[in-house]
């Protein structure tokens, strides 16, 4: 039983704003019919296909119930296709099940994503005259989305089974045993689901600064055509995904939910979303309520073509709790440092730290003020603090790390870290500043590999606990939110990109930090050579697959691939730098072309031939 569809393939999106995808859930809808071998195209004959190609986000897909007299194989195929429809409660898929199976099957438990649509092979024949048939499902696993909508990349073989019985009442085949959750191929997953960021507050942020609270993006996947705004609000109210939970907090009181199960959220004609809450939120004060509303506004921004301008929270009795618009939200919750980086930096041919101070068209670098720009200490790499008042530089031999202010006449003093590694490649990595003003660097000395943290870039280095890092750290980049760290880890001649959670010591303990639950976010790349944060939930990565050539791509922190185009090809990339603001250009060091820059909608442009180690602040 093939599937029939009407719709166009989706092309790649270009770079746009802080986020790269906007869900057009409120546009007019096209229609697809699945799982009953029937459809209604606009014109022409019915046409069968083996799998649904990637569709525009506004395409709707409807399942068809099982036809009378369908064979066991047709029931299995129809059920699997119904799982990929936009049936909000999987009611049509449930019609392929017996009454008892329908009661125990939980389609919301998880979504298993395979490389292709699941293979179904009969383990026995219905022609044998029996009332029972078993089908084996198989495929190559790509990822799993759990009950909290969190994406977890994975690999290996998938195996499941579907058992059917012939009903005594009407002699129809129905499924009476099946795996929990749903399973589908990658193309159907991309059509059915969209990645949306929930936003929470960093729990390890320093209080009392008078600045907006630091937010952390928590990407999840929701069904694109099944009331996504209500889905994502319910997901936000349930709290963060389990991996991120220990380092973030929500302003919503525990147990807060929408007022009732039949609430459906959408913007009104003033672009305001009204969110009725249950009694758990009735007693919150104004400050807490505005923090709740700010979380909602950030979370809802990319769910409509124009964003959401205002959120109103209501008590359980329908009275107003608080109202917050986008301008007011900026004073409550901030993304990253709250200010775009002003300059691009790199090491020039005189091994000084220099900067480009103009826009994307400026190609005349100037030495930074202070000792790191004077050339007295020859440098191989550097990092600039997020306020762009200080910088750290690694000496040309990789042995010493210096910190100095970016003001004229500033001196360096003694190195704040010294490596005893035997060669330059066994010494210090490029450092990285976090949002608290702390400085991170890895010492690659084979005899004593360490990940180090310097509070405010000074004092005695603290060894960061990272017992779950299996291999040697080759590169370090701390996210702007201060709770996640990206690492290139080398082991047995291969390097991988890993994201770890930063857990800080309590205020009553000695200053320190640990990297917890590192996870690979680009498992398909066997060799990762460079990376940089490129927004609040994604990175740009340079690497190669096994036996493949070097490539550059974006990956999200959960390991999924964001929609949109990858950066255009560039040969022999050694280092890459991106900014929190995705509209700012990528900057790279190519062995062939030197320092180059890529702005949105353009090709790579050469800046200077003799330059290395490009960075933005951070």
* DSSP of 294-358: HHHHHHHGGGSTT---EEEEE-TTS-EEEEEEHHHHHTTEEETTSS----EEEEETTS-EEEE-S
Q: How many CA atoms lie within 13 A of 334 on its CB side?
A: 18
CATH number of the domain to which 396 belongs: 2.120.10.30
Has residue 254 been placed in a domain? Answer: yes
Domain boundary among 335, 370, 400: 335
Same domain, 361 and 329: no
Give the containing element (helix H, strand E) for 383.
strand 379-384
Answer whether residue 133 is part of any domain: no
CA-to-CA distance for 197 and 22, rounded, in angstroms? 11
Residue 549: domain span: 344-615
* 117: in domain: no
Q: Considering its fold, how many domains does the chain have in total?
A: 2
| 233 part of a folded domain | yes
DSSP per-residue codes, 159-215:
EEEEEEEE-TTT--EEEEE--SSEEEEHHHHHHHEEEEEEEEEETTSPSSSSSPEEE
Determine the pLDDT at residue 6: 32
**Residues 367 and 437 reside in one and the same domain:** yes
Q: What is the pLDDT of residue 206?
A: 52
Residue 155 within a domain? no
> What's the CA gap between 251 and 241, in Å, rounded?
15
295 and 278, same structural domain? yes
514 and 388 in a single domain? The answer is yes
- CB 458 within 8 Å of CB 416: yes
Contact criterion met (CB below 8 Å) for 191 and 310: no
Shared domain check, 538 and 416: yes
SS3 content of the chain, % helix, strand, coil (to 5): 15, 40, 50
- Residue 406 sits in the same domain as residue 288: no
Segment-wise mean pLDDT, segments of 10 residues, the chain, 618 residues: 34 33 38 42 32 50 91 96 94 97 97 97 75 95 95 93 94 96 96 95 67 91 94 96 96 97 94 97 96 96 88 97 94 71 90 81 84 94 94 97 91 93 96 94 96 95 95 96 95 95 87 94 91 94 92 94 86 93 90 92 91 94
Assess if residue 39 is contained within a domain.
Answer: no
**Is the domain of 297 the same as that of 382?**
no
Which of 306, 335, 364 is the last residue before a domain boundary?
335
Question: What is the pLDDT, as a whole number, of residue 267?
Answer: 94
> Looking at the structure, do residues 441 and 539 belong to the same domain, yes or no?
yes
Say if residues 611 and 577 touch (Cβ distance below 8 Å). Answer: no
Last residue of a domain, one of 335, 369, 389: 335
pTM of the full structure: 0.87
Shared domain for 313 and 416, answered yes or no, is: no
Strand pairing category for 353-356 and 366-367: antiparallel
Radius of gyration of the chain (CA): 27
Enter the tokens of residue 113.
């994503």
For residues 416 and 305, state if they share a domain: no
The answer to whether position 363 is within a domain reads: yes
599 and 563 assigned to the same domain: yes
Q: Residue holding tokens 């045993």?
A: 177
Same structural domain, 300 and 387: no
What's the full length of the chain, in residues? 618
CA distance readout (Å), 57 to 24, 359, 435: 6, 34, 36
Report the run of H or E that residue 543 belongs to, with start and end. strand 538-544
- 353 domain residue, yes or no: yes
């Amino acid at each position: 039983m093939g599937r029939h569809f009407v719709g166009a393939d989706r092309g790649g999106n270009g770079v746009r704003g802080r986020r790269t995808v906007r869900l057009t859930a409120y546009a007019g809808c096209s229609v697809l019919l699945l799982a009953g071998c029937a459809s209604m195209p606009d014109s022409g004959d019915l046409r069968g296909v083996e799998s649904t190609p990637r569709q525009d986000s506004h395409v709707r897909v409807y399942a068809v119930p099982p036809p009378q007299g369908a064979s066991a194989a047709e029931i299995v195929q129809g059920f699997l296709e119904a799982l990929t429809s936009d049936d909000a409660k999987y009611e049509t898929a449930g019609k392929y099940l017996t009454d008892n199976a329908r009661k125990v099957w939980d389609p919301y438990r998880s979504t298993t994503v395979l490389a292709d649509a699941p293979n179904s092979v009969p383990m026995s024949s219905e022609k044998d005259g029996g009332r029972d048939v078993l089908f084996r499902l198989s495929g190559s696993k790509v990822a799993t989305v759990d009950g909290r909508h969190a994406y977890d990349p994975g690999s290996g073989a998938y195996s499941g089974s579907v058992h059917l019985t012939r009903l005594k009442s009407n002699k129809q085949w129905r499924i009476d045993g099946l795996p929990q959750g749903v399973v589908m191929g990658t193309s159907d997953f991309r059509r059915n689901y969209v990645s949306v960021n929930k936003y929470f507050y960093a729990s390890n942020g320093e209080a009392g600064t008078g600045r907006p609270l630091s937010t952390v993006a928590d990407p999840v996947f929701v069904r694109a055509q099944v009331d996504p705004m209500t889905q994502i609000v319910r997901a936000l109210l349930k709290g963060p995904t389990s991996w991120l939970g220990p380092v973030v907090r929500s302003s919503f009181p525990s147990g807060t939910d929408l007022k009732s199960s039949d609430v459906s959220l959408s913007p009104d004609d003033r672009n305001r979303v009204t969110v009725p809450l249950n009694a758990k939120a009735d007693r919150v004060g104004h400050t807490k309520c505005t923090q709740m509303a700010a979380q909602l506004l950030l979370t809802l921004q990319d769910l409509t073509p124009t964003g959401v301008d205002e959120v109103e929270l209501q008590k359980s009795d329908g009275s107003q709790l608080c109202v917050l618009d986008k301008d007011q939200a900026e004073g409550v919750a901030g993304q990253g440092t709250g200010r775009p980086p002003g300059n691009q930096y790199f090491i020039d041919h005189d091994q000084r730290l220099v900067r480009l101070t103009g826009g994307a068209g400026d190609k005349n670098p100037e030495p930074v003020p202070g000792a790191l720009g004077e050339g007295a200490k020859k440098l191989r790499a550097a990092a600039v603090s997020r306020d762009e008042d200080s910088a750290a530089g690694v000496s040309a031999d990789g042995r010493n790390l210096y910190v100095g202010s970016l003001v004229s006449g500033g001196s360096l003093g003694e190195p704040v870290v010294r490596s005893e590694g035997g060669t330059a490649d066994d010494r210090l990595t490029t450092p990285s500043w976090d949002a608290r003003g702390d400085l991170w660097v890895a010492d690659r000395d084979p005899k004593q590999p360490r990940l180090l943290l310097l509070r405010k870039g000074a004092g005695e280095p603290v060894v960061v606990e990272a017992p779950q890092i299996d291999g040697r750290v080759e590169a370090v980049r701390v996210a702007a939110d201060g709770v996640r760290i990206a690492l290139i880890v080398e082991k047995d001649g291969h390097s991988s990109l890993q994201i770890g959670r930063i857990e800080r010591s309590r205020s009553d303990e000695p200053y320190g930090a640990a990297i917890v639950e590192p996870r690979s976010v680009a498992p398909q790349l066997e060799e990762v050579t460079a990376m940089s944060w490129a927004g609040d939930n994604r990175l740009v990565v340079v690497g190669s697959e096994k036996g493949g050539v070097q490539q550059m791509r974006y990956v999200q922190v959960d390991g999924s691939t964001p929609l949109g185009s990858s950066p255009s090809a560039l040969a022999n990339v050694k280092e890459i730098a991106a900014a929190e603001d995705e509209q700012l250009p990528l900057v790279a060091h190519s062995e062939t072309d030197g320092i180059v820059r890529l702005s949105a909608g353009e090709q790579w442009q050469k800046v200077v031939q003799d330059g290395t180690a490009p960075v933005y602040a951070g």
